[in-house]
């Protein structure tokens, strides 16, 4: 199994690095500048589960030599990411992006038969020095087929992942997993960005926990309407994180916003708002959060709300 990882940023670098650490055949598809840095320093990851500092294989252009592509990029970089991986014509693409709407773009560009489902569960960031910093105690990926022809390749990927030191879920119901994460992440991003605060600060206010639960209920209603009802276990896990007293947990979207960077507001919160409207569902908290994100983006020169 030959694995191509798009990029060596926080998500791709972490999971690709763990796979390489376990002996998998991994190549990172990166820009020349990143390739030069990796050649000089190796891939460096700082994590509660053990650091990585190792040389890795890189490429600056894709080819048809790979069985699987792990696609991890920000939503606003998806068009260029699709162009970059198109030469990997026989590979099954496992997208680890947030949300759902990217599946439509990938299906249109590559064909549904090549696009599996996937999700990542980790808080990580790419530091200015090129190191990847793992910020929490979670490191899990989930993937599964959206087409019967993908099963053999994903079985082989699951075997490679089983040797790596992160958690893996190889799921037949991968779309449900993606919806569960979409509901949770939309709530987290909407509320932390709207309040400009972490979970602990929000729920410490008089109405913070009630508002967090109300926002979560809005997102769950959209999933229910789409035929992907959030299960009780997923609800309990999500609310445990969204209402934990004293928690420093926040969204990467808030970190990006506070640094003045681009955000995935349209791809995450905006997409949930559009789905709510299409289903004739009231979502006032999500709408307020999306308006807030759009206002932020309108102040960034040359940027859109995406």
User: pLDDT tens across 117-132, in order?
Assistant: 999 999 898 998 889 9
CA pair distance 251, 247, nearest whole angstrom: 12
239, 216 contact by CB (below 8 A): yes
Structure confidence at residue 117 (pLDDT): 98
Structure confidence at residue 33 (pLDDT): 93
Q: Is 299 a catalytic residue?
A: no
Residue whose C-alpha is closest to residue 66's, from 85, 91, 84: 91
Question: What is the tens place of the pLDDT at every residue in 267-305?
Answer: 999 999 999 999 999 999 999 999 999 999 998 866 544
Neighbours of 287 (CB within 10 A): 18
Q: What mean pLDDT do residues 144-167 have? A: 96
Domain boundaries defined on the chain: 2-172, 176-298
Q: Which residue has the higher pLDDT, 301 or 46?
A: 46
Q: What mean pLDDT do residues 77-95 have? A: 96
Question: What is the tens place of the pLDDT at every residue in 14-29?
Answer: 999 999 999 999 999 9
CA pair distance 205, 187, nearest whole angstrom: 17
What single string gives the DSSP state of each residue in the chain? -EEEEE--SHHHHHHHHHHHHTT-EEEEE--HHHHHHHHHH-EEEE-TT--EEE--EEESS--TT-SEEEE---GGGHHHHHHHHTT-TTPEEEE--SSSTHHHHHHHHH-GGGB-EEEEEEEEEE-TTS-EEEEEEEEEEEEE-SSGGGHHHHHHHHHHHHTSSSEEEE-TTHHHHHHHHHHHHHHHHHHHHHHTS-HHHHHTSTTHHHHHHHHHHHHHHHHHHTT-PPPHHHHHHHHHHHT-TT-----HHHHHHHTT----TIIIIIHHHHHHHHTT---HHHHHHHHHHHHHHHTSTT----
CA pair distance 225, 261, nearest whole angstrom: 33
Residue whose C-alpha is closest to residue 274's, from 192, 231, 219, 196: 219
Distance in angstroms between the alpha carbons of the first and the last residue of the chain: 35
Flag whether pLDDT at 306 surpasses 70: no
Query: Which region holds residue 51: left if phi is over 0, alpha if psi is between -120 and 50, else beta?
Result: beta
Tell me the Cα Rg of the chain: 19
Average pLDDT, the chain: 95
The beta-carbon contacts of 270-277 under 8 Å, at least 24 apart in sequence, are 270/294, 270/305, 271/99, 271/100, 271/101, 272/182, 272/186, 272/219, 272/222, 275/222, 275/225, 275/226, 276/218, 276/221, 276/222
Both tokens assigned to 244: 């934990």
Query: pTM for this one?
Result: 0.92
The fold of 176-298 is 1.10.1040
Q: What mean pLDDT do residues 188-195 have? A: 98
Fold agreement (2-172, 176-298): no
Task: Please tell me the total number of residues recorded for the chain in this structure.
Answer: 306
164, 20 contact by CB (below 8 A): no
Which residue out of 74, 86, 181, 299 is catalytically annotated? 181
Pick the CATH number of 2-172 from 1.10.3720.10, 3.40.1550.10, 3.40.50.720, 3.40.50.1110: 3.40.50.720
């Amino acid at each position: 199994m030959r694995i191509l990882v798009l990029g060596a940023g926080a998500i791709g670098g972490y999971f690709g690095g763990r796979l390489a650490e376990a002996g998998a055949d991994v190549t990172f598809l990166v820009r020349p500048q990143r390739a030069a840095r990796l050649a000089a320093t190796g891939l460096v990851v700082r994590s509660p589960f053990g650091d990585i500092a190792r040389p890795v294989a890189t490429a600056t252009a894709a080819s048809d030599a790979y069985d699987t592509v792990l696609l991890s990029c920000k939503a606003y970089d998806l068009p260029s990411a699709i162009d970059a991986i198109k030469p990997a014509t026989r590979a099954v693409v496992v997208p680890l992006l947030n949300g759902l709407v990217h599946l439509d773009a990938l299906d249109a560009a590559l064909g549904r038969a090549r696009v599996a489902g996937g999700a990542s569960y980790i808080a990580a960031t790419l530091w200015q020095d090129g190191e990847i910093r793992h910020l929490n105690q979670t490191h899990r990926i989930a993937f599964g087929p959206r087409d019967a022809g993908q099963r053999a390749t994903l079985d082989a990927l699951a075997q490679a992942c089983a040797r790596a030191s992160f958690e893996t879920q190889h799921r037949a119901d991968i779309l449900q997993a993606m919806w569960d994460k979409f509901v949770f992440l939309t709530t987290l991003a909407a509320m932390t960005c709207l309040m400009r605060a972490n979970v602990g600060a929000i729920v410490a206010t008089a109405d913070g926990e009630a508002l967090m639960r109300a926002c979560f209920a809005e997102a769950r209603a959209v999933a229910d309407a789409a035929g992907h009802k959030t299960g009780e276990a997923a609800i309990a896990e999500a609310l445990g994180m969204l209402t934990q007293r004293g928690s420093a947990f926040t969204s990467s979207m808030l970190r990006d916003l506070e640094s003045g960077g681009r955000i995935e507001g349209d791809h995450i919160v905006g997409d949930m708002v559009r789905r709510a409207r299409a289903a004739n569902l009231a979502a006032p908290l999500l709408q307020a959060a999306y308006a807030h994100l759009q206002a932020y983006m309108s102040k960034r020169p040359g940027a859109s709300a995406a």
